[in-house]
Amino acid sequence: MADGICVFAENYNGNIEPVVAELVSAAHVIKEMTGEKIQAVVAASDCENLVRQLNGSGVDEIYAVKTDRDCMFQDDALSQVIAEMIKKINPSSVLVPATTIGRSVFSRVAARLGCGLTADCTELLVDKREDGSFYIKQNKPSFGENVFVTIVTKEGFYPQMMTVRPGVYTPYEAAADGKAKVEYLDDIVLPESGIEVVGVRPASSDTDSILSAEVVVVGGRGAESEENFALLEKFADKLEAAIGGTRPLADTGMIPFEHQIGQTGFTIRPRICISLGVSGAIQHTEGIKDTKLFVAINEDENAPIFNVSDYGIIGDMKEVLQSYLEL
Ligand SMILES: Cc1cc2nc3c(=O)[nH]c(=O)nc-3n(C[C@H](O)[C@H](O)[C@H](O)COP(=O)(O)OP(=O)(O)OC[C@H]3O[C@@H](n4cnc5c(N)ncnc54)[C@H](O)[C@@H]3O)c2cc1C
């Protein structure tokens, strides 16, 4: 019988990616209901190092395959290894980061296993069927991010497999003395790959910068003019803050999608967040609700953003920022 909540331990350059700790949090939410063990799967040439990092991260079991060569970006070969691992472990659910690597590897894993894959979940809820079995409600934005849908894997089909959007869950803080059972699956071998990696160039705009920023300045439609946005950038520069925005700013390309905050964007948890010209629609404020200190500047005293801010300044953002920058 399928049993266990399996987390894909995505790694890069010898490090487990921080997003894995978020998936471990999501797995613990599921475990509270189902009582299943949390498993991590990892396959890499420097596997021992990655297993060390995973041990004590809040997982109960680690399954590892040591590959005979570096297989980063050889998703055709890596997906075969992971699919074989999942067949062997037989978990009831598999949680994968909705990252470029997670998406690419697990669409192939799903095809190999003949199972479904719900992409880009922003909420996972557990429910119980009449026969006592548990299932995961996989909630995600859909249809051009205009509606929210709940996807449920058909009864009796396992694993329930899903990618989870980074930033949605708070990283799991494991007890320092936590130990996992480790098993190396030596009979699984990395096949030849049709992909040759000729070079690696980092992306120019990464989501990490905004997810890990201590201070974030968020612009809304009120900051959309060239003049206002230039002021916002100067302000952010002075505060050494990352820049985020509402969906209209991402739609017009003023900020990259990776910096859109909200239900269909990313969730941030900075120490300080300052929003400029943002009305405060629920779809946006969902993405900032865990901010420690939240300041809003809006010229409309009735703007809903003031209902969720700790401090509010009623005024034209241009005048407020110009005064601040002159100090
Ligand atoms: C399914 C769905 C998912 C969505 N997901 C997201 C999401 O992830 N993120 C997101 O942000 N939105 C999302 N939206 C859109 C959301 O509902 C709002 O439309 C959007 O957040 C509004 O953006 P805004 O506050 O920038 O613009 P507006 O609502 O137009 O507000 C602009 C504000 O700026 C103020 N203002 C104007 N000029 C100035 C000035 N000079 N100085 C000070 N204040 C000024 C105005 O008073 C106003 O309050 C989603 C919508 C749907 C239907």
Residue 289 has pLDDT above 90, yes or no: no
Please indicate whether residue 282 or residue 204 has the higher confidence score (pLDDT): 282
What number does the ligand 1 atom closest to the CA of 263 have?
8
Q: Which of 235, 242, 238, 223 is nearest to 321 (CA)?
A: 235
How far is the C-alpha of 139 from the C-alpha of 148, rounded, in Å? Answer: 7
Residue 205 has pLDDT above 60, yes or no: no
pLDDT digits (tens, 9 = 90+) for 38-58: 999 999 999 999 999 999 899
pLDDT digits (tens, 9 = 90+) for 74-86: 999 999 999 999 9
Residue whose Cα lies nearest atom 50 of ligand 1: it is: 283
CATH topology assigned to domain 5-184: Rossmann fold (3.40.50)
Residue with tokens 């790694």: 11
| Side-chain-facing half-sphere of 154: CA atoms under 13 Å | 4
Residue 66 has pLDDT above 80, yes or no: yes
Residue from 217, 263, 284, 313 to probe ligand 1 pocket by mutation (most atoms less than 8 Å from CB)? 284
For residue 173, what are the CA distances in angstroms to 132, 146, 205? 30, 34, 28
Name the pLDDT band for 210 (thresholds 50, 70, 90): confident
Residue from 264, 267, 323 to probe ligand 1 pocket by mutation (most atoms less than 8 Å from CB)? 264
Lowest-confidence pick of 2-11, 85-94, 198-207, 309-318 = 198-207
How far is the C-alpha of 86 from the C-alpha of 89, rounded, in Å? Answer: 5
160 is in an annotated binding site: no
Q: Which CATH class is domain 208-326?
A: alpha beta
How far is the C-alpha of 217 from the C-alpha of 320, rounded, in Å? Answer: 14
What number does the ligand 1 atom closest to the CA of 318 have?
41
Residue from 278, 286, 308 to probe ligand 1 pocket by mutation (most atoms less than 8 Å from CB)? 278
Residue 219 Cα to ligand 1 midpoint, Å, equals: 9
**What per-residue confidence (pLDDT) applies to 177?**
67
**Contact predicate 261/244, CB 8 Å:** yes
Give me the helix-helix angle, 75-89 and 100-113, nearest 10°: 60
pLDDT digits (tens, 9 = 90+) for 87-131: 999 999 999 999 989 999 999 999 999 999 999 999 999 999 999
**Ramachandran category for residue 145: left, alpha or beta (phi over 0 → left; psi -120 to 50 → alpha):** left
**What per-residue confidence (pLDDT) applies to 264?**
84
Is ligand 1 within 6 A of the CB of residue 288? no
**What per-residue confidence (pLDDT) applies to 168?**
87
Residue 132 Cα to ligand 1 midpoint, Å, equals: 43
Please give the distance of CA 254 from its chain centroid, rounded to a whole number: 22
Q: How large is the average pLDDT for residues 264-286?
A: 93
Name the pLDDT band for 206 (thresholds 50, 70, 90): low
pLDDT, mean over the chain: 94
Residue 113 Cα to ligand 1 midpoint, Å, equals: 42
**What per-residue confidence (pLDDT) applies to 62?**
98
Residue 277 has pLDDT above 70, yes or no: yes
Is ligand 1 within 6 A of the CB of residue 245? no
Residue whose Cα lies nearest atom 4 of ligand 1: it is: 283
Tokens of 174: 């494991």
Cβ neighbours, 10 Å, residue 193 = 16
Lowest-confidence pick of 57-66, 87-96, 204-213 = 204-213
Same fold for the pair 5-184 and 208-326: yes
How far is the C-alpha of 40 from the C-alpha of 318, rounded, in Å? Answer: 49
For residue 136, what are the CA distances in angstroms to 27, 67, 163, 164? 11, 32, 13, 13
Residue 176 has pLDDT above 80, yes or no: no
Name the pLDDT band for 228 (thresholds 50, 70, 90): very high
Name the pLDDT band for 37 (thresholds 50, 70, 90): very high
ipTM above 0.85, yes or no: yes
pLDDT digits (tens, 9 = 90+) for 299-324: 999 999 999 999 999 999 999 999 99
Q: Where are the domains of the chain?
A: 5-184, 208-326
259 is in an annotated binding site: no
**Contact predicate 135/160, CB 8 Å:** yes
What residues contact 200, with CB distance under 8 A and at least 6 apart? 73
Residue 9 Cα to ligand 1 midpoint, Å, equals: 36
Tokens of 185: 């699956």
**What per-residue confidence (pLDDT) applies to 201?**
78
**Contact predicate 305/321, CB 8 Å:** no
